[in-house]
Amino acid sequence: MKNTPSDPVPLLQELIRCRSVTPAEGGALTCIENLLSAHGFRCHRLTFREDGTPDVVNLFARIGTGSPHLCFAGHTDVVPEGPAENWTYAPFAAEIADGFIYGRGACDMKGSVAAFAAAALDYLRGAGGLTGSISFLITGDEEGPAINGTAKVLDWMRANGHIPDHCIVGEPSSVDRLGDTIKIGRRGSMSFLVRVEGRQGHAAYPHKADNPIPKLARLIDRISTAKLDGGNAHFDPSTLAVTSFDVGNPAGNVIPSRAEAKFNIRFSTEHSFASLQTWVDTQISVVRAEVGGAWSVSVSKGADAFITTAGPFVSLVQGAVAAATGIVPRLSTSGGTSDARFVKNFCPVLEFGPTNATIHQVDERIAIDELRATQSVYGRIIADYFSSAL
C-alpha cells in the first residue's frame, strides 16, 4: 500500500473490495495478514472444517509474548449485498462520496478492523517498544454458522498459549453517535420447534379426526402471553417470539394430521438453557393434560447470556471512550448475538465500534471522519491499557 499504514481509509477500501461474503475469504484476511506481518506480527492462517459445513479460513496474529495481552476480535466476512442495482454505488467498489465510504462491510465490521489495525500500528511505532502483547483474532465465519470460526480459533489459542488477558470485539456498538454505547454482555438465544400429531379427517366430520391445531394453538397462546422475568440491573425482561405456525395443509376441507410451531426466546442471566427447557416442557405438560395429544419438541441452543461485570477493564475502556469522544458511553446488553459469546469463556470481553445505522442494509457506509475517530478511540484504549496495571 502506498499510503501510510496508520491511515484506515485506504485499508478499509482495500478490505471492502475483497468480496468476502461468508464464508468466502475473498482476499480480506490476506490483506490484513500482509499488513500485520510487515510490521512484526507473527501470523497464523487457520482453516477449520466440520462435516456438513463449509471450510472457513481464519487469522490469528500476535506481536509480543508476555502480559498484559490485549486482543482485538473481529470478522471480515460480510452478509450478501442483495440486488446490486439497488445500491447507489457498487457494493464492493468502496467508493468515496460526500465524506462516506460506501460498501458491504463498511460498518460491520471491516471498518473496525481497519481502525484497530491502524491504531495498533500507530501505538507500536510511537511506544518505542511493547511490554506485553497485542493480537488479532479475525474470523471468516461470524455472519455464517459460527462453527468453524472464533470458537475453534480460541481452542487453538488455548492449546498454543495465546489466550489474552482482555479482549475488545469490534462490533458496531454505537447507536446514534460514536462512543455512546459499549456492549458489556449479550442476551442468550434459544429456539424451539414443537410438533403435535393428530389424525387427518374430513372437515365435515371433525369427530372422526383428531385435530392438532387447537391443541398447539392453546400452547402458543399460553407461552406468548407469559412473563418470563422482570429483567435485572443489566438486562431488559426476557422475550419470547413465535416465528412460525405451520400445518402443511393446502386444502380447506381437510383437518391436518400434524401442526408445528417455532419460537425463539431471548433471555437474560436470570435463565439458563436448562431452566428454559424445563419451563417449556412444563408448559407443554400442562396443555397436554388439558387437551391430550402426541407432542414432541426439539431445541436449538444458540448462545448463553453473559455479562462482563464492572471492574478495572470496563472502567478503563469506558474512560478511554469518554476521553476520546467527549461522551460517557452507556453500558448495554441489547441486540442479538456476537462472537463475544465465545470469547467470554476465556477472558473478560467488551464490544465497541462505530455506529450501526446502516449495517446489513443497501448503501452500507461509514463516514470517513467517524472511521478516523474510531481509530483514535482504539488508540486511546490501547495506550491506556498498556500504561495501566490491570
pLDDT score of 33: 98
Q: Give the pLDDT confidence score for residue 3 in this predicted structure.
A: 42
Per DSSP, the three-state class of 320 is helix
Query: Residue 66 has which C-alpha cell?
Result: 508476555
pLDDT-derived band at 6 (thresholds 50, 70, 90) equals confident
Closest CA to 44 of 169, 77, 344, 36: 36
**Residues 242, 136: Cα–Cα separation, whole Å:** 38
State yes or no: is 142 an active-site residue: yes
Residue 237: the pLDDT is: 94
Phi, psi of 43 (to 5 degrees): -110, 145
Q: What are the residue ranges of CATH 3.30.70.360 in the chain?
A: 188-303
Q: How many Cα atoms are found within 13 Å in the side-chain-facing hemisphere of 182?
A: 29
Task: Look at residue 49 in the predicted model and tell me its pLDDT.
Answer: 92
pLDDT for 337:
87
pLDDT digits (tens, 9 = 90+) for 128-179: 779 999 999 999 999 998 999 999 999 999 999 999 999 999 999 999 999 9
| The three grid cell numbers given for residue 114, joined into one nine-digit string | 481497519
Question: What residues does CATH 3.40.630.10 cover in the chain?
Answer: 8-186+305-387
Task: Please give the pLDDT value at position 56.
Answer: 96
Beta strands in the chain (DSSP E): 42-50, 53-63, 69-75, 96-97, 100-102, 133-139, 166-169, 181-183, 185-186, 188-197, 201-202, 239-246, 254-255, 258-267, 294-303, 306-307, 330-332, 349-351, 365-367
> Choosing from 25, 142, 143, 339, which is the catalytic residue?
142
Domain 188-303 top-level CATH class: alpha beta
Q: What is the mean pLDDT of the chain?
A: 95
The answer to pTM > 0.85 is yes
Q: Is the pLDDT of residue 1 over 60?
A: no
**Catalytic member of 14, 25, 77, 81:** 77
The span from the CA of 171 to the CA of 110, in Å, is 10
**Positive or negative, the Cα torsion across 356, 169, 4, 380?**
positive
Q: Could you read off the pLDDT of 45-63 as tens digits, one per residue?
A: 999 998 888 899 999 999 9
Q: In the chain, what percentage of residues exceed pLDDT 70?
A: 99
Quick check: is 81 catalytic?
no
Contact between 268 and 231 (Cβ < 8 Å): yes
Residue 185 pLDDT more than 80?
A: yes
Cell of 56: 472457513
Give the whole-angstrom CA distance, residue 113 versus residue 353.
9
Read off the pLDDT of each residue in 341-353 and give the average, rounded to a whole number. Answer: 97
Looking at the predicted structure, is the pLDDT value of residue 319 above 80?
yes
CA distances from 342 to 39, 146, 152 (A): 28, 10, 9
pLDDT of residue 150: 97
pLDDT for position 61: 98
**Separation of alpha carbons 228 and 234, rounded Å:** 16
Tell me the percentage of the chain whose pLDDT exceeds 90. Answer: 92
User: Which residue type does 14 have?
Assistant: E
CATH class entry, domain 8-186+305-387: alpha beta
